[in-house]
Amino acid sequence: MGFDEMDVDTIWMDGEFVDWEDAQVHVLTHGLHYGTGVFEGVRCYDTVDGPAIFRWEEHLQRLYDSGKPYDIEIPFEPEELTDATVELIRRQDLQSCYIRPIAFYGYEELGLNPSNCPVNVAIAAWPWGAYLGEEALEEGVDVAVSSWRKYASSQIPTNAKTTGPYVNSVLASLEAKSNGYVEAILLNKEGHVAEGPGENLFLVRDGEIFTSGLAESNLDGITRRTVIELARDLGYTVYDQATISRGELYTADELFFSGTAAEVTPIRSVDDNEIGEGTKGPVTDEIQQEFFDLIEGKLDEYDDWFTYI
């Protein structure tokens, strides 16, 4: 994704709308040196009732919660961040976009104790298409189990979406790509399946759906929650506290990723082992279709998941 050719020119920063090129921080920003920031990835969809942010309240809640272990107190009320985001989208006339709120310890002094540093907050929004490519949504992706393990929740809280620890995802992602795969799957310290570098993972076996429990060092993904609810409403049995071994990946009937950026992306192979028929499976297809209907605003029963612009 490049920003140059995009039709977006404004960023909200610390209470004000500033020009894209003026949204700068000092090079001695605490968060740059120590990764002391928390962030979100949210999508706004062009629904049949107009542009609407998907599950904004949940993302906002996770942003505030993510800051807790680090004493990052966001100096804005949730309503202020909501208003800023809605206005940001309106000003740039975006119909659908990816929204990136971030809060981080700013510039005051370095050293590991951040308590004298201000907390800076910014929100950007820009168009962002299919994370792993349009074709991936249809055909599925080829993935590899990473040689890097997911950091354990006993080392860094994995339910917080903190900037610094994403170096773990970057390593897994780089490794997968340099070996010719589209994406990675990370095992946790115990060797169980944790998640993708930027996605949760679902497994289908004998018509039932499994996803790693939240104590497996994965993020409590909001798309994960959405998929669980949609699947149950479709009548599937979903085990959402599963422990999944590496071997079970290879023998699964179907596998798919979920995430704000990745949406619902089928996995067609793991470590060169074909999964199912080596393409999008029927259960994945049904859930993905339901998900796309949902984000197009066609499913009235989930209307309270949308914040209209």
Interface residue list for ligand PPE (CB under 6 A): 41, 169, 195, 198-200, 219, 221-224, 258-262
Decide whether 65 or 108 has the Cβ nearer to ligand PPE.
65
Phi, psi angles (nearest 5°) of residue 82: -65, -50
> What is the C-alpha separation between 81 and 119, in angstroms, rounded?
14
Decide whether 106 or 221 has the Cβ nearer to ligand PPE.
221
Least separation in angstroms between CB 277 and ligand PPE:
26
212, amino acid identity? S
Query: Three-state secondary structure along the chain?
Result: CCCCCCCCCEEEECCEEEEHHHCCCCCCCHHHHHCCEEECCEEEEEECCEEEEECHHHHHHHHHHHHHHHCCCCCCCHHHHHHHHHHHHHHCCCCCEEEEEEEEECCCCCCCCCCCCCEEEEEEEECCCCCCCHHHHHHCEEEEECCCCCCCCCCCCCCCCECCCHHHHHHHHHHHHHCCCCEEEEECCCCCEEECCCCEEEEEECCEEEEECCCCCCCCCHHHHHHHHHHHHCCCCEEEEECCCHHHHHHCCEEEEEECCCEEEEEEEECCEECCCCCCCHHHHHHHHHHHHHHCCCCHHHHHHEEEC
Least separation in angstroms between CB 206 and ligand PPE:
25
Decide whether 39 or 117 has the Cβ nearer to ligand PPE.
39
Least separation in angstroms between CB 305 and ligand PPE:
13
Decide whether 54 or 105 has the Cβ nearer to ligand PPE.
54
Place of tokens 């993935």: 143
Least separation in angstroms between CB 40 and ligand PPE:
8
Phi, psi angles (nearest 5°) of residue 61: -60, -45
Least separation in angstroms between CB 240 and ligand PPE:
14
Least separation in angstroms between CB 225 and ligand PPE:
8
User: Which of 161, 177, 189, 280 is labelled catalytic?
Assistant: 161
The residue whose Cβ lies closest to ligand PPE is: 41
Place of tokens 């000092």: 26
Decide whether 159 or 279 has the Cβ nearer to ligand PPE.
159
Decide whether 146 or 200 has the Cβ nearer to ligand PPE.
200
CA atoms within 13 A on the CB side of 192: 16
Active site residue 161: yes
Task: Please give the positions annotated as active site.
Answer: 161
